[in-house]
Structure 1
Amino acid sequence: MIGADGSTTRNSPRVPWWPLLREAKTAPRVRLLVFPHSGAGPNTLFPLVRPLPGDVEVLGLSLPGRERRFDEPPGCRLDQVLDSVADEVLGLDPLPTVVFGHSLGALLATRAARLLGPHCRAAVVSGQAPGRTTRRAHGTSTDEDVVRLLREGGGTPQWVLDDPEMLAHVTRVLRADIELSRESATGFEDVRLDVPLHVLGGTADPLIPHEPLDGWADHTTGACQVLRFEGDHFFLLAEAHRPTVVDVLRRALTEG
């Protein structure tokens, strides 16, 4: 489960966690924080933010071991992700902020939304279960389990699966992200937001069942809208569904 943008440039350890993914074309009115899925960098979700209005500033979470941080050892803790939000996002000019996360990114986005407090106006979560729902990825224990998850979950380019060196790297990254996901899901049933919540899921997702998605309403005191799409774990990137997902993001960016 990785997005291949071919970005393997060597960088120093000082590369930010929150690089600019898309600069606003005019004075920014609102900020969107993008939290990618396990094994991926934020550029994987770029097709969904490219069509957004020109007054939206987009920042993407870049975890170690991918894209700009390809040469860094993979792995981090939840508190490091949240510290990066506090240090690199809250330190910027204050703007109304919306969080958008897919899979692992949905767990991280929800945690970050709570940290952002009144700065957060809405949250969009995709491909992730609420509460204590069982998550298939958390049952992996070996490299073989991880590779099977990659193949069955979809979203991984065939050239990555066919390249032993790249597959080994992706496996290390994904194992680290699964540990981060386990940590982020611990106690998640007690996480509550006070903002509108938009929930997206695939009806044929082999990793996350779509039936419990309505349970996301328990994670906010605000309105909760659940949309189900025909498709697997990466339904949101399917060409047929992209316009609807972009419309959800547009609505979220105008709330509050």
Structure 2
Amino acid sequence: MTTTSSAVPWWPQLRLREPAVAPRARLLVFPHSGAGPNTLFPVVGSLPEHVEVLGLSLPGRERRFGEPPGCRLGQVLDSVSDEVLGRAPLPTVVFGHSLGALLAVRAARLLGPHCRAAVVSGQVPGRTPRRAHGTTTEEDAVRLLRDGGGTPEWVLHDPDMLGHVTRVLRADIELSREAAVGFEDVRLDVPLHALGGTADPLVPHEPLDGWAAHTSGSCSVRRFDGDHFFLLADEHRPTVVDVLRRALAES
């Protein structure tokens, strides 16, 4: 058993104010490498008030900026056991982008009957090679940031912040490598929704149909005209939100 001790929760609420109604469903948000869950708030912030939205906060970013980056898969799963399964039970949907997709599927298995659907974005299934896993140096990490997009220009030109971001990114890539071991054998039994960008320079969209092999339930695949962060683009965000709403309705 690993430890998830931290002065700051791993699973904070992403809504800034208390909802006016009691939660009837739960969404777990797993962000991409190098990022915190608030990066995906533009996608999840407009969901109905009865949906409790919790976001995975890993060391080294947002609320945990002062902590050294890096954790193991076991710690992530322990945080789900401690902080999510320890809450009042609710029908739950997992939603992960890039690294987050691998973690979300792993967590879905741990949640068992509490998990009713999974939404994975910007990630390939099975044994498909992952470009990020070839990142070994700081120069590789900076190149990955530039090619993937989504990183503010000021960060790329601030040596101190860029150094911090690349340390976080490289730690997350190690976590991604661990989460990918044996992933081809991971199976769910809930509806699965797979999303990808047709111009993603980091993740090819052609293998997306292979996500069907990761569940005995239904699998829908949707491709968007966009890069690795297609889901945050103004023209695609409403459709992604609709996918999340449909997944929550399945719960």
Q: How big is the shift at 1:46?
A: 0.3
| Among candidates 105, 124, 128, match of residue 129 of structure 1 | 124
Does 2:220 align with 1:225?
yes
Any stretches of 5+ residues in structure 1 without a counterpart?
A: 1-11
1:21 counterpart SS class: coil
- Deviations along 1:196-250, whole A, 9 cap, x unmatched? 0000000000111000000000000000000000000000000000000000000
Name the counterpart of 2:211. Answer: 216
| Counterpart Cα distance in 2 of 1:55 and 1:141 | 43
TM-score by length of 2: 0.96
| Among candidates 124, 135, 147, match of residue 140 of structure 1 | 135
Q: Give runs of aligned pairs for residues 1-256 of structure 1, distance below 5 A.
A: 13-22=6-15, 23-256=18-251
- Deviations along 1:20-56, whole A, 9 cap, x unmatched? 1125431101000000000000000001111111100
Question: Matched residues, percent identical?
Answer: 83
Q: How big is the shift at 1:87?
A: 0.4
- The AA in structure 2 aligned to 1:83 is D
| Counterpart Cα distance in 2 of 1:162 and 1:105 | 27
- Deviations along 1:64-96, whole A, 9 cap, x unmatched? 000000000000000000000000000000000
Name the counterpart of 1:6. Answer: none
| Counterpart Cα distance in 2 of 1:197 and 1:13 | 32
Residues 155 and 203 (structure 1 numbering): CA distance in 2 closer, same or farther, change over 3 Å?
same
| Counterpart Cα distance in 1 of 2:234 and 2:172 | 27
Q: How big is the shift at 1:177?
A: 0.2
Any stretches of 5+ residues in structure 2 without a counterpart?
A: none
1:254 counterpart SS class: helix
1:173 counterpart SS class: helix
1:59 counterpart SS class: strand
| Counterpart Cα distance in 2 of 1:244 and 1:235 | 11
Q: Runs ≥4 in structure 1, deviation > 4 angstroms?
A: none
Whether the 8 Å CA contact 1:31–1:59 is kept in 2: the answer is yes
| Counterpart Cα distance in 2 of 1:65 and 1:102 | 18
1:209 counterpart SS class: coil
| Counterpart Cα distance in 1 of 2:76 and 2:6 | 15
Q: How many residues align?
A: 245
Q: How big is the shift at 1:14?
A: 1.1
1:58 counterpart SS class: strand
| Counterpart Cα distance in 1 of 2:50 and 2:242 | 16
1:199 counterpart SS class: strand
- The AA in structure 2 aligned to 1:124 is V
Whether the 8 Å CA contact 1:13–1:72 is kept in 2: the answer is no
CA RMSD of aligned residues (A): 0.9
- Deviations along 1:113-154, whole A, 9 cap, x unmatched? 000000000000000000000100001111000000000110
| Counterpart Cα distance in 1 of 2:87 and 2:21 | 17
